[in-house]
Chain A
Amino acid sequence: MNSQLLIGYTARDTFLNRLSGSTKLIGFVALSIIGMVTYDTRFLLGVLLISLILFHFSKIKYHEVAFVLQVIVAFAILNLVMVYVFAPSYGITIYGTHHMILGSPDHYFNLSWEQLFYEFNLLLKYIFAVPLALIFLMTTNPSEFAASLNKIGVSYRISYSVAIALRYIPDVQNDYRTISLAQQARGYEISRKAKLMTRAKGAVQIIMPLILSSLDRIEIISQAMELRRFGHNKKRTWYMAQPFKRNDYLALIIIVLIVLVGIALFKVNGGRFWNPFK
């Protein structure tokens, strides 16, 4: 059950798997930033195309990510609707023209091609990064994850806390299940049969023992880490870090080029927006 909800790494033999985690992280972050800043539809479509092609090559199956995708789509639609509800003429303000489909710009609720175009750009922004994020998460060995964070400049103490979290999540889930069942056996009803209030009260009964047992765990882990010299030196090396290879440099060059194109388009468009209505 849980395995379908959570997305996780599996060893797949693709060139994306062989790229170093840092390259993928840099690529993901750099493309996301430029994509979030720009409203150039041509650029966004281009990046979306690239990320879909990469997704195809990553050999990730749709059913592995179906749940996550559904959640993202639901949120994207909700967001677009809300943008329309709160600012139905924002497109007109941005692009400076009005090609009306319904109503007139004087009314609060109206529908213009400018607004549709603006929201289409938003949609592109929401979806182009999703395949990239999934590729990064699902083709990077979790052990390498911390090493990549550290490589791009995040302190190793913070990076390692990511690894520790990944290490202990299954244990804490286990604790949770055990505690929850033990409490149910004493009569706390937390299943769907009970009323919301009863369930909430039941949940509190689980949280307290869970926190106490997690605190014990944390004390032991931090001792174990200290006894093995974690945190003394300014730097540390990583067993699982992948050194940069030819393909990594190649990938980084391509990423830089894409970002440069994005920046160049700011100049051409005279701002963040590409305006086809002029």
Chain B
Amino acid sequence: MVEPIISFKDFGFQYDSQSEPTLKHINLDIFPGEKVLLAGPSGSGKSTLGRCINGLIPQSYPGEITGSAIVAGHDIKDSSIFELSFSVGTVLQDPDSQFVGLSVKEDIAFSLENDERSQTEMRAATKKWAERLDLKPLLDHSPQGISGGQKQRVAMAGVLIDESNILLFDEPLASLDPASGKASIELIDHLARQQNLTVVIIEHRLEDVLQRPIDRLVVLKDGEIVGNDKPSAILKDSLMQQLGLREPLYLTALQLAGVKLADCNNIDSAETVAGDNIESALQRWTAGVSLQEPVLPKQPLLTLKNLKFSYNRNQPVIHGLNLTINRGDMLSLVGRNGTGKSTLSNIITGFLKLDDGEMKLNGQDLTQLSVKERADHIGYILQDPNQMISKAMIFDEVAAGLRLRALTDDEVERRVNDTLKVCGLYEFRHWPISALSFGQKKRVTIAAILVLNPEMIILDEPTAGQDLRHYTEMMNFLETLNREQQVTIMLITHDMHLMLEYTQRAVVLADGGVLMDARPADVLTNEAVIEKAALAKTSLFTLAERYHLPSALDFVAKFVQTEREVRSHE
């Protein structure tokens, strides 16, 4: 019988800084060559379990261990990060901040330098892994000069160079655009087979990881294992929602059409799912739903004409861009990394100065207004709330903008309290911000902008790094703002689910201009646009094609419409 390479027996862990154990009664065996997906909502303990595998626990995060945990023959209780690092290679979540070298080749060779290997050995090993991971032309580049997907490949090369046989990925998809994320999952799969690696992936975006076969899905909730089986077995039970995970879209669609998942085969992927009555059920469902033409706002709020911008003269980032955003729009701005999504928002907010073109807000020339003056009309919310928060208390943080505008204390108090009520933060108003969760902090930053009464807000990746519950809360909140306060909302996002389910309009940027401006369903069923803008096809589209539905576009649009109706009745 094969011995497990990772083995947890009635394992528990409690951080010294916390009063409750984070992991309880974990029993888990992972065998050599297995590919395991570790999923669970925020706070479920999945990252903690990862830290136990690479030795950061108990070395860097002291705490109390109960039971036993053996990783590659080492009891984690008395082995160091150093010992474990020869067997376990870890790729951290943010490919940018784990890049320690000044250039790609130095970063790949980093662990060999620490092992005191000779330069000849390092050069040979670096060359080998750069070739395998397609990084050869980038070897002399600095981290600032390469994309997120490339950085992640560098990080992989940097741990594979140790020839360790366990690879641990901590949320590998979190900061990649959809196409890079897909490429990354394919690469992991390819390497795992080629090198016969044991792979543990920590990720809550199931659907994206399941694009390639996974041997086992382990689901954690509140520090305990609540699911440990082949993915298909867990998906069939359709327990995803209860477990706080997002169910793959194609499965939601099948259930909407009345298909029983228990009767289906190969349900891990939209490419393979099969069953006797799927085709007829889907066709019946799509014929039975009539598509209503959505009422889109028509009154222009912000008009951009022939915008031009470049950081240096030879490479224009934005070149002849035209876009009209209407009052009350909820739209998503999507596109490949580096196509100028953030640049465009920075131009609108005045952070960057336009080379040429016209920008009008309600007919008023925006280019004549300062950053501060524009902020009275258009608010911009950064992805990382920690970059925005500058006060210790919630009330003060939200009041800061008003106080700077020299309003009376009564007026400030009234408006801050109103805004806090809208944002569901009123009860917390006297709390220190440090006591809040990531999602709540994000809400504080939104409140601090909303209090200025902007007509429009721009949010950069509003749901990045949040699990299903926080994601849904955030998006429902934004939807309410849009509907009830008539705030125009522009979301910059890589999340195709978000774009499809929550926005009525998608603007795709490519080659310095608007490549497509249409309903999200139109965008995600247009293969040319998907490829050019590094988006990802949704599994709904695959489903529609495989089961010969009359129009994939209609099917996706009907699905979104039905979902939205369900949501508004909840």
Contacts and interface: CB of A to CB of B under 8 A. Distances in A.
Interface of A: 142-143, 163-164, 166-167, 170-171, 175, 178-179, 181-189, 205-206, 208-209, 212-213, 216-217, 220-221, 223-233, 235-241, 243
Contacts of A232: 80, 82, 114
Contacts of A188: 404
Nearest to B105: A239
B119 A212 contact: no
A264 B165 CA distance: 62
A227 B90 contact: yes
Contacts of B371: 181, 184-185
Contact of A237 (B98, B117, B382, B405): B117
A1 to B, nearest CB: 12
Contact of B115 (A178, A182, A212, A229): A229
Contact of A185 (B97, B115, B372): B372
B60 interface: yes
9 closest residue pairs by CB, A with B: A187-B404, A224-B98, A185-B375, A228-B111, A229-B114, A186-B401, A205-B390, A181-B351, A220-B97
Interface string B70-106: 0000000000111001000010101011111111011
A209 B114 contact: no
A120 to B, nearest CB: 42
Nearest to B388: A182
Contacts, number: 148
B386 A143 contact: no
5 contacts: A167-B102, A182-B380, A209-B386, A220-B94, A228-B111
B92 to A, nearest CB: 6
Interface in B403-460: 404-405, 448-449, 452
Given A184-B375, A230-B110, A237-B113, 9 more contacts: A167-B100, A179-B387, A184-B372, A185-B375, A186-B375, A213-B387, A221-B100, A232-B114, A237-B112
A237 B372 contact: no
A239 B119 CA distance: 6
Contact of B97 (A179, A221, A227, A237): A221
Contact of B60 (A143, A164, A226): A226
B116 A186 contact: no
Contacts of A186: 375, 400-401, 404, 448-449, 452
Contacts of B158: 228
A227 B106 CA distance: 16
A243 B452 CA distance: 61
B389 interface: yes
A231 B80 CA distance: 13
B568 interface: no
A167 B115 contact: no
Contacts of A216: 386
A211 to B, nearest CB: 10
Contacts of A229: 82, 85, 111, 114-115
A28 B97 CA distance: 34
Given A167-B100, A186-B401, A229-B85, A223 B60 contact: yes
B332 interface: no
Q: Which of B81, B102, B126, B448 has the most A CB atoms < 10 Å from its CB? A: B102
B106 A217 contact: no
B180 interface: no
A151 to B, nearest CB: 13
B465 to A, nearest CB: 13
A181 B382 CA distance: 11
B122 A239 contact: yes
A165 B469 CA distance: 39
B372 A224 contact: no
Contacts of A182: 380, 382, 387-388
